[in-house]
Amino acid sequence: MARKNYPLYETTEFDDFRVMVENAAQRFPERTAIAYKADPRDKSVVDVTYSQLRDRVRDLGTGLIGLGFRDRHIALAGENSYDWICSYLALMSIGSVVVPIDNDMPAEDMADILRTAECVGLLHGASIEPKVSSFRGQVPGMDSWLCLGSPGCEEAIALEEIAVSGREAFLGGDTSYYDTPIDPDRLATIVFTSGTTGKGKGVMLSQRNIALDMTNGMYYFAITPRTICTLPLHHTFGSTVILVGHISQGSTIYLSSGLRYIGAEIKEQQPSHLVLVPLFLEKLHSRIWTSAEEQGKASLLRTMMKASNLLRKVGIDLRRTLFKSVLAQLGGKLEMVISGGAALRQDIIDTFDGIGVTLLNGYGITECAPLVSCNRNKLQKRGSVGFPIKDEIVRIVDPDENGEGEICVKGPNVMSGYYKDPEATAAVFDADGFFHTGDYGKLDEEGWLYITGRLKNLIILSNGKNVYPEEIENEIAQIPGVEEVVVYAGEGGNLKNKELIVAEIYPNADKIHSIGVEDPLAYFNAEVKKVNARMVSYKTVNHVKLRAEEFPKNTTRKIQRFHIDKHID
């Protein structure tokens, strides 16, 4: 394999979170670090500079040390907020072991994580106080309860009280926040996987894992000055790529007020780049084409894109001018989108590229902190999730005749294992120290990585052929009127001696109505037959099933396949 060498971008290196925050405050003291709205209905925005962020983190850190939180396992559960960010950075900066928890998780699951991770304290938002109250006193060793944001938590200390006491202590000469060095290789966080295929496991990551994952990734792409945080920060895609990636580089992070506000926020806040999961990109892509169709300009837009692409081949790039009105829907200043977390359709990449927005598709997994590979600002390859990041080794194990096999990873960003689960840890590491991701893919002759599908989703036919549902889903997703689709092997009924590949579709009711569809099932059956005609015979979809509600998802908007009823009558 002849991998080409390409120039790397300059980036900021750091060993631990405390150094990262201090460096940013020293280099960009008056630059806005975090921006947010106290009330999403209000137009006024709260801007927090890097020096103010550093002071808040230091004050909280000093106060938390006073509570005995250094070196202890502390959980953090709450909605994305400035308080959440400061708490996370403060806990990491004093050497606590942080356990981020999904704010929407049921109380029983939340309590189970607290027990499994052996937490002694919980910082939580007032909105989940009823959940917390239901298990308070039922988690052995839990003796500290702290409340983020506004008052309303029973038996919990308000975060502001801790910050005030920490600030007073620091001004009085308490330098405990800075006195103890951070060991970047010791356990820093336990992140429970979101569980798209079942119960999650506690991924153990060090500060070095996270720092090097982002530093080595930043060598490959250049972050622009302003972004909007739409991802849940309890997940590594949010905490590593958005928080660590942007704070270390001095970018401004605007905290979204929630899903319902994102469209308006993009126009209002005018981000220069975004970090999104494919679902959000699919929504933006759909909005672009729906708007064009409603204005009767969809055909013109396609023609202009073709003409623009021809001009680009001779070195003339007019995209930002030709598609100014389309870009205005995205705030007008959007230059780049980083996507990860799931497969992304090529037609979406082509649309964004066509209007002048660079879309960098990448691949990551929680166990790798999470970034494994990514495309680059000036270098992308169609269908690929890019090169493995700097110092990352990717190996394809047990490849088939097409070179497709399990993706295995080795590098400084890879976890040490699953917390209190040596059997699960042993099952995913081989004798050479490679982590087996459970994802299928291949490497081409130049080292570009391609994702085929998830091992646990793989359909193995009786003739030995492998069917990757994601490949078929990507084709069906392009049918007008498909909002979501999942492909799987049907179960039950008379299927004992018959293999049935099922495409279950959640239709976009407005879309199928607008194109005049009277019988949705008949329409989708006909369209899926067209897809079948383009596929090899063993990948043929035999049955189309419609559903009335969207598929169940986790908080990173990934479909939870294990919740889908695969029974076919």
The reply to whether 231 and 326 lie within a common domain is: no
Place of tokens 């929504």: 283
CATH code, domain with 517: 3.30.300.30
The reply to whether 530 and 397 lie within a common domain is: no
CA distance 461 to 539: 10
Domain-located, residue 532: yes
The reply to whether 239 and 281 lie within a common domain is: no
The reply to whether 229 and 82 lie within a common domain is: yes
The reply to whether 306 and 249 lie within a common domain is: no
Domain-located, residue 569: no
Over its length of 569 residues, how does the chain's per-residue pLDDT go in tens digits? Answer: 555 567 788 888 899 999 999 999 999 999 999 999 999 988 899 999 999 999 999 999 999 999 999 999 999 999 999 999 999 999 999 999 999 999 988 899 999 999 999 999 999 998 899 999 999 989 999 989 999 876 667 778 999 999 999 999 999 999 999 998 899 999 999 999 865 444 579 999 999 999 999 999 999 888 889 999 999 999 999 999 999 999 999 999 999 999 889 999 999 999 999 999 888 898 899 999 999 999 999 999 999 999 999 999 999 999 999 999 999 999 999 999 999 877 788 899 999 999 999 999 999 999 999 999 999 988 899 999 999 999 999 999 999 888 999 999 999 999 999 999 999 999 999 999 999 999 999 999 999 999 988 777 878 776 667 788 888 998 999 999 999 999 998 876 554 445 789 999 999 999 999 999 999 999 999 999 999 999 888 889 999 999 999 998 876 677 887 788 888 87
The reply to whether 304 and 174 lie within a common domain is: no
The reply to whether 444 and 508 lie within a common domain is: no
Domain-located, residue 188: no
Place of tokens 């909605």: 79
The reply to whether 82 and 156 lie within a common domain is: yes
The reply to whether 465 and 354 lie within a common domain is: no
The reply to whether 131 and 253 lie within a common domain is: yes
Predicted pLDDT of residue 496: 47
Domain-located, residue 208: no
Domain ranges, residue 437:
273-332+347-359+372-456
Tokens of 215: 């530093």
Domain-located, residue 498: yes
CATH code, domain with 166: 3.40.50.12780
The reply to whether 43 and 84 lie within a common domain is: yes
Predicted pLDDT of residue 198: 45
Given 456, 482, 501, the domain boundary residue is 456
CA distance 417 to 86: 27
Q: Could you write out the DSSP letters of every residue in 521-568?
A: HHHHHHHHHHHHHHS-GGG---EEEE-SSPPPB-TT--B-GGGS--B-
Helix, strand, or coil (residue 496): coil
Residues 6+ apart with CB under 8 A from 290: 511
Domain-located, residue 93: yes
CA distance 273 to 338: 8
Predicted pLDDT of residue 387: 93
Residue 405, number of CB atoms within 10 A of its CB: 18
CATH code, domain with 399: 2.30.38.10
The number of distinct structural domains making up the chain is 3
Domain-located, residue 7: no
Residue 510, number of CB atoms within 10 A of its CB: 11
CA distance 432 to 389: 20
| Residue 340 near residue 280, CB atoms below 8 Å | no
3-state per-residue secondary structure call for 229-257: ECCCCCCHHHHHHHHHHHHHHCCEEEECC
Domain-located, residue 193: no
Predicted pLDDT of residue 556: 66
Given 411, 426, 456, the domain boundary residue is 456
The reply to whether 310 and 235 lie within a common domain is: no
Given 239, 263, 287, the domain boundary residue is 263
